[in-house]
Amino acid sequence: MAKEKADKASAEAEEAKAAADEDEDEDDSSPEATSDSDDEDSDEDEDEDSDDDEDDDDSDGNEDEVTKAEGPDAKKRGSDHPPSSDKGHAKHDAGHGHDDHDHGLAHTMPIKGLIAVWAALMVLTVLTVSVTHFDMGYTVNLVVAMVIATIKASLVMLFFMHLWWDKRFNVLIFLGSFLFLALFVGLTVNDRGEYQQNINAYDDAKAQ
Amino acid sequence: MTDTTADAHASHEHGHGDGPHLAHHFDTYQQQFDTGKLGIWLFLAQEILFFSALFVAYIVYRSMHPEIFIWAHYYLDTQLGAINTGVLIVSSLTAAWAVRCAQNANKTGLVINIVITIACAFGFLGIKYKEYSHKFHDGLMWGPADAELTWTRHNPKEEVWELHEFRAHHPEVAEAAEEAAKEGKSRAEIAAAARKAAGGKDYGIVRPNHSNIFFGIYFFMTGLHGIHVIAGIIVWCWLLIRALKGQFGPKYFGPIDYAALYWHLVDLIWIYLFPLLYLIH
């Protein structure tokens, strides 16, 4: 259904490069959504936590660049203006399609998603501690712990770090570091026993 | 949101969408944001490589001397480690939430989330301090037994079989080992006695040679991680001040986003450190 939104948005603003940007919202039926005549998508963020918009309005007065627009109807005015005039960028246009609550510059994680990832991380932490009570052998216990850690790390990377929606190039950079990590580990482990003789000789000498 | 309005106004005046937070060398907020994001990802990539040296040390040493890691794990407090993992995960949630709030120009939410993140970071360091001081008092340091700096000497006050936790789980093994130790038997003999009492299973409770190296790795890995947490606190405090000034909004939340990415990386490293150090089995 995030997809539907994408379609709607792109109908208004084509090349909605922000395809990454829609929120996975459950319902659009908040009061605000109906008051903004031009767009039902407008409040997709607010309807998750309606106190958000209260805060929005409060904070607007403090926003340096927003001093002109204050009060609750600022939002309305905001959506009437063609924001694309300042920058004709696709993402911003897509943002317009979403009212000004645009996640114009990057993907916004919905609160439900954040909480779900957090809960999964907590459950996995409890799980990884409790599996140590089962003796499955040195190697199996280690592998299980590393698999769970990797699942946790993936959750953090994909959702908390927004990698799922990030530019491919950024993903490439980050994952590239793991490639070099693998090289580093692989090559070093490969000859890890190289100096064992010297260590043994040293120990023997010391023991005497 | 209303930001956009202001920007639209601004655009009529300047025709360029210049805002107070749009640096002059960028054409658009999007370009500014993407540039910063690229920069932080490059930084995080080198952070991974920075830490990787310590992980390599760990992997090499553990694969060569699993007995040291098994012996040392009896001295680590799994409970405190697990609590710290939880604390960091909570702070990761609030960091990600802070980004969301900044994107939505939700100043109150942003400030609250940053404050919780900082509080969790202090909580983490507090627990870490408790662990470190225990290690210090129990003589579980990294230096060799004849180290010049006496406070770094590795000189465990308690043998594994004297540890409360081990006694609770394996009383007969602890008993046998203690008896053998009292009789002044050699380490190999104590190990044999313990193995016999355990029905042939080796719990690895007799201190192996070079066991101080484990604590070298332990302090280095958790210490470098702790330094990153301290750096994170400094960054978050700076951002808290800026957030209170209301500087962040849908078009300018880059600094919050970048700090959160860094913070998640710190969490990510801990996610591996925790099982590698505290859950050795």
Interface predicted TM-score (ipTM): 0.88
Say whether A129 and B279 touch across the interface (CB within 8 A): yes
Chain segment A184-200, per-residue pLDDT in tens: 999 999 988 888 888 88
* DSSP H or E run through A177: helix A168-190
pTM of the model: 0.76
Average pLDDT for B124-146: 94
Question: Do the chains contact at A101 and B250, CB–CB below 8 Å?
Answer: yes
- Contact call for A114 and B100, based on CB within 8 A: yes
pLDDT tens digits, residue range B152-163?
999 999 999 999
Chain-centroid distance, C-alpha A167: 12
Contact partners, residue B98, CB within 8 Å, separation at least 6:
B109, B110, B113, B114, B117, B256, B260
Chain B's closest residue to A115, CA to CA, is B93
Identify the pLDDT of residue A119: 97
Phi, psi at residue B153, to the nearest 5°? Answer: -65, 135
Distance from the A175 Cα atom to the nearest Cα atom in chain B, whole angstroms: 8
Which of B4, B16, B116, B120 is the best substitution to test chain A (most A C-beta atoms within 10 A)? B4
Q: Give the residues across from B143 on adjacent strands.
A: B153
Contacts of B38 in chain A (CB under 8 A): 169-170, 173
| For residue A72, pLDDT beyond 70 | no
Helical packing angle, B187-197 and B171-182, nearest 10°: 150
CB contact under 8 A, A105 and B5: no
Please write the tens of the pLDDT for every residue from A148-189: 999 999 999 999 999 999 999 999 999 999 999 999 999 999
- Dihedral, B103, B109, B111, B116 alpha carbons, nearest 10: -120
Per CB-CB distance under 8 Å, the chain B contacts of A201 are none
pLDDT of residue B18: 58
Other C-beta atoms closer than 10 Å to the C-beta of B194 total 28
CB contact under 8 A, A58 and B108: yes
CB–CB of B120/B91 below 8 Å? yes
The answer on pLDDT for A3 being more than 80 is no
**Chain B residues inside the 8 Å CB shell of A104:** 29-30, 250-251
Tens of pLDDT along A23-55?
Answer: 444 444 444 433 333 443 444 444 444 444 434
Contact residues, chain A, for B11 at CB < 8 Å: 85-87
Residue A156 has a pLDDT of 96
Burial B134-152 (b: 16+ CB within 10 A, else e): ebeeeebbbbeeeeeeeeb
Is the pLDDT at B176 greater than 60? The verdict is yes
> Rounded to the nearest 5°, which phi and psi values hold at B237?
-65, -40
Look up residue A175 and give its two tokens: 């994952």
Distance in angstroms (rounded) separating the CA atoms of residues B167 and B62 = 25
Q: How far apart are CA B250 and CA A65, in angstroms?
A: 11
**Residue numbers in A near B277 (CB within 8 A):** none
Longest dimension (CA), chain A: 89
Cβ partners under 8 Å of residue A130, min gap 6 = none
